[in-house]
Structure 1
């Protein structure tokens, strides 16, 4: 999506500018390119404006009440804000390598200050992850810059570490570009790290693909139960969970009655 509208802020240090622009009541963040990194509708600042961000919340279909959520990559803070607002029993930790992004998220995208339920840390997410033991129920990867995703964040070793820091019923949610020629390489690496327990969800064509990976098989994979759960989530959060659930049929092993996950299911 191209950058259009009234430019509101620009910050630049080193080689990557951080820009904010506004159009038709939607404020967007750009990191050194014309690709939107994050968006916020001013009339509903805690809602998830972009489809990929709503798709990242599909972990709720399988893990209703995560105690600890770890996010690598802040952007405008949309996902962190949403969890903070609507998942009152969850504690969220966010790693963002660029302090200017954190400043912009707070000054222009209404990201709350740190407190007992939200900690935004300026630092290297990969290094942070390597220092952790089992620490979270949900791990969300959304770390892009003007060059795309960092190679170290799509390596086999990195995905192995992701599986290691997640609790037994933990879920990894990854935002990837479907147009990336290496997408299927990354997907196979995720499956290898998670015992083939991974799903693809297309949130747009040919745009973002959300990958969900599981340390253990979810307790429920039957379509009728997933649809019932999706309807309840949709009513609770105003996100198209039912539509996303139906899209899981497009690229994942399934029958008329259920999804299949893992090498042996």
Structure 2
């Protein structure tokens, strides 16, 4: 921006809870980012367009919109810098979005530095262990989005068979579970096998544009939309509404999952 200095800064926010990673905020070229105990970027925000999904893995997680583009209730496990929350507030204004975040310092930093929406009837953040929080729901949420990293790896409690079963119980009849995993993690295939077992094979992988991150989606019931032609038509519609690369998502789905010439096999 003209007249505005662009320079990096890092701000460390010490956590009062020893078990939780230290939270840091950095800013480079008008992109503000959150870090948890390491240099790895956990979440980023464009200060000129806070609702924009800067990181490719967050865009891939929104791939669930191909199957439900008007959810009325979303549960998030893991707040980070609030990227998904800001996007939902901007583009899905009729959705109730509730978030469980275990680290109180993350909540404080997100509120102070990352322009979270005002909390009220449509948005709420609760300081809670997401693996326990999800047990509150019974067939009452349409989408569960899980992004639980501790700064170095995926949180173990969010990859167990018990957690997946609790998530499946929490979802409504056509609900979708979405999680962000790191495909280079040596435990990745064991996570995937557990999820496939709990959701009876109704699982797909959507690689993010950047190497490594994988948006993994599980469906409580087999989705009706699997034709490549219909998915491509849906992608064209959604790109105009949400400004995300849904056509590219469909291409990546075809590369990463079992399919025939005519349809995605789920």
TM range (shorter): over 0.9
Give the match for residue 136 of structure 2: 131
Deviation, 1:250, is: 1.5
Q: Residue by residue, what CA displacement relative to the aligned partner does 1:113-151 show, whole Å, maximum 9, x if unpaired? A: 311110111111111112322220000000111242221
Give the match for residue 26 of structure 2: 21
TM-score (norm 2): 0.94
Which of 197, 214, 229 is equivalent to 1:209?
214
Report the 3-state secondary structure (helix = DSSP H, G, I; strand = E; otherwise coil) of the residue aligned with 1:92.
Answer: strand
Is residue 160 of structure 1 aligned with residue 152 of structure 2? no
Deviation, 1:223, is: 0.4
Contact 1:179 1:206 in 2 (8 A): no
CA–CA distance in 2 between the matches of 1:119 and 1:14?
A: 22
CA–CA distance in 1 between the matches of 2:256 and 2:123?
A: 34
**How many residues get paired?**
258
Which of 56, 68, 76 is equivalent to 2:73?
68
Deviation, 1:9, is: 4.6
Report the 3-state secondary structure (helix = DSSP H, G, I; strand = E; otherwise coil) of the residue aligned with 1:38.
Answer: strand
Question: Where has structure 1 moved over 6 Å in runs of 4 or more?
Answer: none
Give the match for residue 99 of structure 1: 104
CA–CA distance in 2 between the matches of 1:251 and 1:107?
A: 39
TM-score (norm 1): 0.94
Gaps of 5+ in 2: 1-6
Give the match for residue 3 of structure 2: none
Which of 156, 170, 177 is equivalent to 2:182?
177
Give the match for residue 194 of structure 2: 189
Contact 1:56 1:210 in 2 (8 A): yes
Contact 1:169 1:214 in 2 (8 A): yes
Which of 232, 235, 241 is equivalent to 1:236?
241
Root mean square deviation, CA, Å: 1.3
Is residue 11 of structure 1 aligned with residue 18 of structure 2? no
